[in-house]
Structure 1
Amino acid sequence: MHQEKFSKSTRTNKQVALHTDVVVVGGGLAGVCAAIASARSGAKVVLVQDRPVLGGNASSEVRLWALGATSHMGNNNRWSREGGLIDEIMLENLRANKEGNPLIFDAILLDKVVAETNITMLLNTAAYSVTKESANRIESVNAFCSQNSTYYSIFAPIFTDCSGDGIVAFNAGAAFRIGSEDKYEFNELLAPEKANSDLLGHSLFFYSKDAGTPVEYKAPAFAYSQDEIDAIPRSKNIGAKDSGCKFWWLEFGGILDTVHDTEEIKWELWKIVYGIWDYIKNSGKYEDVENLTLEWVGTVPGKRESRRFEGEYMITQHDIVEQKRFDDAISYGGWAIDLHPAEGVYSEKPACSQYHSKGVYQIPYRCFLSRDIENLYLGGRIISATHMAFGSTRVMITCAHGGQAIGEAAAMCAKLNVKPKALLAPKLMSELQNRLNGLGHGLAGIPLTKSDVLLKAEIQASSTLALAEFSQQDDWLSLAQSAAQLLPFTAGLAPTFTVQLSAQEATTLTCQLRVSIKPENYTPDLICKTIELDLHAGEQTVSLDFSEVELITQYGFVIFLANDKVQVRTSAQRVTGTMSVFNKVHKAVSNNGKQIAPPNSGVEEFEFWTPERRPMGQNIAMQITPALQSFAVSNLTNGHLRPWLGSNAWVADLSDKAPTLTLSWPEKQTLAGLRLYFDTDSDHALETVLMVHPEKRIPFCVSRYSIKLEDGTVLMTEGDNYQTLNTIYFKQTISTDKLIIELSHPAENVPASVFDIEVF
């Protein structure tokens, strides 16, 4: 028994002082990836999260789907899904949770963090102030946990603010901005004539379900009436069968203070949400709603925008649209510049306006460095960006990707005992970029530097795919919308393509070979050659002779322009680094088949050519003469971990029943392990909630392989791989002059492939 007598003075709560290498404040996806990255690189980390779960806007408390550069596969950013830690997390979620249950995603994030012994996680703990050693240096963060009545003072040499509102940076005195710059400060033509305080607002989601029996609903007294809901301009968007983040447009608060007025904004959104459910159930305007019940309403609004902090560089609209290259690039983005009216649901304007670039863009390290506080990293949506650029950089998977980058950087700083700005030195920046790429980060255009041990090896394959055809199946694809086969070409003359067509009547079909003006992009904005085919009624085999076209090494599009009287034969084969794409409308990302830029906006006009989601999206059956030689074993050492300019993958021939890679050295090497980089289709968007994915594992990914010595000794066997990056540590170091990697094809119509190998 514990008993205390009356105290005339006030009592104080328990106080704990923690000393660590890195403090990460904020447990959204950016903070989670920052903390894990630092911990895996050897730093001791304290992760401070003010909520009971991790994930921020992706958690079960908010339930917004997490996305980034793939943008629902509705833009021209092919193979752009963010790599590294967030890729690992998303693939884990696909395997365990392809149905998109947000509670399971919570558990996956918690699992990932608690698995790291270097992380001390403080949930339900809110950072509220900092102490400073000097004007430009933080000494500690102070936090309070309401669940255990404990105050924490957490000391470290490096701090990472992923809190969303920038509580650490704000309390430390760092310079910040709220609202939009005028168009003249950075010559951003999308920006308003005059600077303003308008922001993107908060959203609050709800889930409904069919109870199987009639369910009555009586709205709470605080809910808006049906007449009040009917008067909201956005009410015309209400769909009775929609649920969760399909209602992302239930937005409010951009005209208020999105930091200090958040509770008021939440109440307004509650009034709207409960009123909308009353409107759906009881207005009589919707059919088949009798059995619907309100299953869940968010208690925490999803916040889009508040403070943006000033860093060593501020990324702008130009950097995104023009895809500017940076020597200190450590992350990338690809979501559209996505602007919402500040009035939210009360605005007569469209719920959002999205302006895409023609491809992904780089984000430099300097955007993550506080200009003012020497030991502070900025993470998540508070990084140094103009309001226009923020419209793209703010989305969760982009934030997570940057989170891993600054987590890795923080661990480097802690180990080297240097300040974050020291990593701007070219040698240290190259080391940081290489460490990130070694972990599968996927910085396009910045190859992984290969080890001397690997470069000494001769790599031989049991077979290599020469892509001579996509064999046809019985299925036909209507050309009611324009379709194309996207293929990796090597420098030289283009091939001839033979395809099977079926026409309802005599007609003319226009076919083209196109490439991108910027070779690294996947926007087919340069027509190399056009062929007009006069078709007769019925099935016929035709050839598309592009052989006089001189190509460089880049991706190209064999295009069949829309003709609803024609079908083309499809193939069941799927091959790494190839896909079919379509000039189609994708309303979820303001894609109407073509981006129409506002006048004098600095935004380009171009067509969208986007894939269908599996199980759709079959390749177009064709014969290719000469065969494409784009899948050579030499790709395994070029340092590129995904398609970029070329396939960058070794692909086995499907007829090879036992695909094998053999690494041979002229003399014995001492090896501790190796890394293999597999194809988990970085084009496929892996939305965390609401979307139901067609498979638990990506069909291109090698699931079964083994590593052996020349004498048959098995070093390891894997029978259930579904991850991109496989790091294998041998039970003990080995001395050998030969390693053999035996793989299995993922499926009978999908050949085995590997992007990269590294040994250590």
Structure 2
Amino acid sequence: MQKIRKQLAVIGGGPAGVCAAITAARHGVQTVLVTDRPVLGGNSSSEIRVWTRGATGAGNLWAEEMGVWGELKLENLFRNPDANPVFWDDILLDAVLKERNLELFLNTEIVSASTQKNGAVVCVYGIQQGSERQLEFEADFFIDATGDGTIGAKAGVPFSVGNGKHETLGNSILYYTKKEDHPVSFVAPDYAYDMAHIEKILGCGGRIVNEKMSGSDCWWFEYGGLCDTIADAQDIALELRRLVYGVWNYVKNSGKFDADHYTLDWIGAIPGKRESRRMQTEYCLTERDILSQRTFPDGAFYGGWYVDAHPSGGMYDSGEESCVQTPVNVYQIPLRCLYNRQVPNLLFAGRIIGVERSVFFSSRVMNTCALSGQAAGTLAAQCLQGGKTPEALTDAEVTAVRRTLARDDMFLPGAAIDDPDDLAKQASVSVSSVHAGHPGERSGRMSLKDGGFLAFPAVRGRRIQIEVFVERATTLRARCAVTKLPNRLNIGAETTERCWALQPGLRMLEAEITDENQFCLWSFEANPLVDLAVCERTRIGFLCGRTGEPEVYEPCAWYQNAALYGAEQLVSGENRPWGGANAWIAAPEDAEPWAALRWDTPVSAHEVRLCLDPDLTMELPSSRARHWEKSHLFAARQGMPAGLTKELTLTAELESGETVTLAALHNQHQRHVTVPLPQGVRIRALRAALRETWGGMPPAIYGICVY
């Protein structure tokens, strides 16, 4: 038996495990990542092909998950703009193999674990398929990111399954379709269900089928919720293949679809699993917590997907909707959901963390799982550095974990975390120009015939002005709310009503704003006589959209003489929208924008970090099929983010007065940019020249930090 000794063993190669392993390795932890599959990515991999979604996909604006996961998604957008799932596998593999402190074992199933009398895990044992190697992984800390709580269960951590009756969400097998230039016949395998069986299933609970559906359109091909999703895995997979091939046979051969030229391009060999165990942890996040947006002293990451409930009967459940999705605003998840002191050196990441089942319906999605992995990796690094178990960490050490997460671009909604080591706060700030806050060139209209939303930052004591086109005299009404971060699908219960009597022509909606450090969210009643004027996008913080459609636009809305995007935003401590835009934006006419920091006396520093603008209100899925149904409310990005800086030069003025170039980045495509400084230097000033963005929008910086 081969023994592998590391400080940290991460078991599971899905989004949570990948992010946990990369994070810990970057913080100096000798780490091993072990997965039972030949590729990384879990449900998002090319084996299963579920696209990654999260808070933004459920209506939350400026809420796209970043950090390590965001880095991987932006790399995927740059290298793989068509979101091919095959290339996504290699984005993850490339990132893992780059980390010098990280060793990878693929195709390795963990079969047992050894523990001490105090409950701590000593080692886990695995077998690597193909190599016939028996492996022993010994570590000081372990992270269970298996999706099934495999290590936790073997180590004796209590857990829950499903709704208490062992009824869970089901598994799904997806397929990809392709349209050929010639007719393609299909003869179903003998094991597939016949058309009569399939016809009984279709048409219930929103289970509508057509010849174009592909990829995650097939989410409702669901079965296994009334089985044991671990022990009955093979039976579930075979039943799903019978069902899925039966559906495709029905599409091809029932005569009810224009499917002659369509064929299956791919079908999943293994199902994607939604649910099995949920581990009991030091704290169990409740539905009340997420609906009230409760903050925690150890809040470490966030969720924001719908509370997305599916019937356990899956395709065989004819009495319920296939899913019921309740939108929620972004909410904090604390570190205490990642461990149970009964096993002091074991952390959890992914869908198995400690939450109520109603919360699990939201927290289970892969973007949230990935963030939990980064939180677990950071927590493990802190514990190993101090030689402590997680429950023994002091308040100051928990704050250090959160501070590290924030530095590494983790969004902690509602958390105010001071960073005394950030030297940028001691500097004076100057910029080449400041966006005046006015809208860009008018570019079109957005009809309110089905209603719509408008979101903008609140500026107390100022009047917001919004251009509208009015066909004939009418009254326009809106429900209005304020929130730190708006969800276009969830205006909330605390609203006021505004109405405007409008005459025909180009008119102006005006309203006195009495709030500050919030976003205003207006939900317009349907009115076919009114269109919002929309403009070319040049700002952060102003958005509008139609009811029932995923696309967003920038409204022709503005304040007179309101300072929204000043230089002070560079060192505000906020690095994304929360209660306001929190970004410096250069003036659109500025041909050579720059931002600079200068200290009264030279400072010693080792790195500079910049947070740029990747358009946080559009999703960055791991993959997508050629076709997706409108019901997903998904809008694909058309190229790289228009406001993301593409050409960036960072220079420093040294103590000697010499100016040196620290970095000249070409085709720069990341939001979170870290530039190391030469060892032992003292600097008087820094200057970031943002020479070009990817889409012609003026460049924006959410923050500059210097350490």
Common fold by TM > 0.5 = yes
SS at match of 1:63: coil
Equivalent of 1:222, from 191, 201, 208? 191
Query: Partner letter of residue 618 of structure 1?
Result: Y
Question: What residue number does 1:91 align with?
Answer: 74
Query: Partner letter of residue 602 of structure 2?
Result: K
Question: What residue number does 1:361 align with?
Answer: 331
Query: Partner letter of residue 632 of structure 1?
Result: G
CA distance in 2 between counterparts of 1:419 and 1:121 reads: 25
Equivalent of 2:439, from 461, 470, 474? 470
Instruction: State the structure with more CA Rg.
Output: 1
- Contact 1:323–1:362 (8 Å) recurs in 2: yes
- Contact 1:636–1:755 (8 Å) recurs in 2: yes
Q: Residues 699 and 317 of structure 1: is their aligned pair in 2 closer, same or farther, counting only changes over 3 Å?
A: same
Equivalent of 2:150, from 164, 167, 189? 167
Deviations 1:371-406 (A, max 9, x none): 421110011111111222111111111011000110
Q: Residues 312 and 545 of structure 1: is their aligned pair in 2 closer, same or farther, counting only changes over 3 Å?
A: same
Equivalent of 1:551, from 500, 506, 515? 515
Indicate whether 1:387 and 2:357 are aligned.
yes
Question: What residue number does 1:566 align with?
Answer: 530
Question: What residue number does 1:585 align with?
Answer: 548
CA distance in 1 between counterparts of 2:281 and 2:91 reads: 32
CA distance in 2 between counterparts of 1:552 and 1:513 reads: 18
CA distance in 1 between counterparts of 2:623 and 2:411 reads: 24
Indicate whether 1:704 and 2:672 are aligned.
no
1:657 Cα deviation from its structure 2 partner: 2.1
Query: Percentage identity across aligned positions?
Result: 31
Alignment of 1:643-722 (within 5 A): 643-690=577-624, 693-710=636-653, 713-722=660-669
SS at match of 1:661: strand
Equivalent of 1:446, from 398, 409, 415? 415
Question: What residue number does 1:755 align with?
Answer: 702
Question: What residue number does 2:457 align with?
Answer: 488
Question: What residue number does 2:313 align with?
Answer: 343
Q: Which moved more, 1:526-535 or 1:479-488?
A: 526-535
Question: What residue number does 2:480 align with?
Answer: 514
1:654 Cα deviation from its structure 2 partner: 1.5
Equivalent of 1:736, from 665, 683, 696? 683
Alignment of 1:5-16 (within 5 A): 15-16=1-2
Equivalent of 2:47, from 53, 61, 66? 61
Deviations 1:242-300 (A, max 9, x none): 0122110000011111110010000100101111111111111112x112112211111
- Contact 2:458–2:520 (8 Å) recurs in 1: yes
Question: What residue number does 1:402 align with?
Answer: 372
Equivalent of 1:497, from 465, 479, 490? 465
Deviations 1:542-595 (A, max 9, x none): 333323x4222211146654321233332113312322233x126xxxxxxxxx
1:759 Cα deviation from its structure 2 partner: 0.9
Q: Which moved more, 1:324-333 or 1:662-671?
A: 662-671
Indicate whether 1:198 and 2:167 are aligned.
yes
Indicate whether 1:44 and 2:30 are aligned.
yes
Query: Partner letter of residue 739 of structure 1?
Result: L
Question: What residue number does 2:11 align with?
Answer: 25
- Contact 1:225–1:275 (8 Å) recurs in 2: yes
Question: What residue number does 2:235 align with?
Answer: 264
- Contact 2:171–2:224 (8 Å) recurs in 1: yes
Deviations 1:182-233 (A, max 9, x none): xxxxxxxxxxxxx422111110111121122111111111111111111225
- Contact 1:511–1:533 (8 Å) recurs in 2: no
CA distance in 2 between counterparts of 1:489 and 1:49 reads: 48
Q: Which moved more, 1:264-273 or 1:716-725?
A: 716-725
SS at match of 2:705: strand
CA distance in 2 between counterparts of 1:436 and 1:238 reads: 43
Query: Partner letter of residue 135 of structure 2?
Result: Y
Question: What residue number does 2:633 align with?
Answer: none
CA distance in 2 between counterparts of 1:486 and 1:225 reads: 50
Give TM-score, length-normalised by structure 1: 0.87
SS at match of 1:546: strand
1:478 Cα deviation from its structure 2 partner: 2.1
Deviations 1:345-386 (A, max 9, x none): 0001111112222x1111111110024211100111111112
1:135 Cα deviation from its structure 2 partner: 4.4
1:532 Cα deviation from its structure 2 partner: 2.0
- Contact 1:675–1:759 (8 Å) recurs in 2: yes
CA distance in 1 between counterparts of 2:579 and 2:188 reads: 56
CA distance in 2 between counterparts of 1:218 and 1:510 reads: 57
Query: Partner letter of residue 726 of structure 1?
Result: V
1:234 Cα deviation from its structure 2 partner: 5.4
- Contact 2:439–2:535 (8 Å) recurs in 1: yes
Question: What residue number does 2:500 align with?
Answer: 532
Deviations 1:108-132 (A, max 9, x none): 1110111112111110000010011
CA distance in 1 between counterparts of 2:110 and 2:523 reads: 55
- Contact 2:440–2:538 (8 Å) recurs in 1: no
CA distance in 1 between counterparts of 2:464 and 2:194 reads: 65
CA distance in 2 between counterparts of 1:748 and 1:177 reads: 48
CA distance in 2 between counterparts of 1:209 and 1:399 reads: 31
- Contact 2:422–2:705 (8 Å) recurs in 1: no
1:669 Cα deviation from its structure 2 partner: 1.7
CA distance in 1 between counterparts of 2:370 and 2:102 reads: 17
Indicate whether 1:251 and 2:216 are aligned.
no
Indicate whether 1:411 and 2:375 are aligned.
no
Deviations 1:648-673 (A, max 9, x none): 11111112222221211111122333
How many correspondences in the alignment?
687
CA distance in 2 between counterparts of 1:277 and 1:452 reads: 58
CA distance in 2 between counterparts of 1:531 and 1:744 reads: 44
Equivalent of 1:275, from 246, 251, 261? 246
1:643 Cα deviation from its structure 2 partner: 0.2
Equivalent of 1:304, from 249, 256, 274? 274
Q: Residues 558 and 261 of structure 1: is their aligned pair in 2 closer, same or farther, counting only changes over 3 Å?
A: closer
Query: Partner letter of residue 700 of structure 2?
Result: S
1:175 Cα deviation from its structure 2 partner: 0.7
Question: What residue number does 2:431 align with?
Answer: 461
Equivalent of 1:317, from 287, 293, 299? 287
Q: Residues 545 and 234 of structure 1: is their aligned pair in 2 closer, same or farther, counting only changes over 3 Å?
A: closer
Deviations 1:567-626 (A, max 9, x none): 3332113312322233x126xxxxxxxxxxxxxxxxxxxxxxxxx43xxx332224x342
1:447 Cα deviation from its structure 2 partner: 4.1
Question: What residue number does 2:629 align with?
Answer: none
1:679 Cα deviation from its structure 2 partner: 1.0
Q: Supply the RMSD in Å over aligned alpha carbons.
A: 2.0
CA distance in 2 between counterparts of 1:91 and 1:448 reads: 26
- Contact 2:45–2:85 (8 Å) recurs in 1: yes
CA distance in 1 between counterparts of 2:502 and 2:384 reads: 68
Question: What residue number does 1:604 align with?
Answer: none
Question: What residue number does 1:185 align with?
Answer: none
Q: Which moved more, 1:725-734 or 1:670-679?
A: 725-734
Equivalent of 2:670, from 719, 723, 726? 723
- Contact 1:234–1:345 (8 Å) recurs in 2: no
Deviations 1:313-349 (A, max 9, x none): 1112211222221111111111112111111100011
Which segments of 5 or more consecutive residues in structure 1 lack a partner in the other structure?
1-14, 181-194, 587-611
1:494 Cα deviation from its structure 2 partner: 2.8
Deviations 1:125-176 (A, max 9, x none): 0001001122411110000012110111111110110111111111111111
1:732 Cα deviation from its structure 2 partner: 4.6
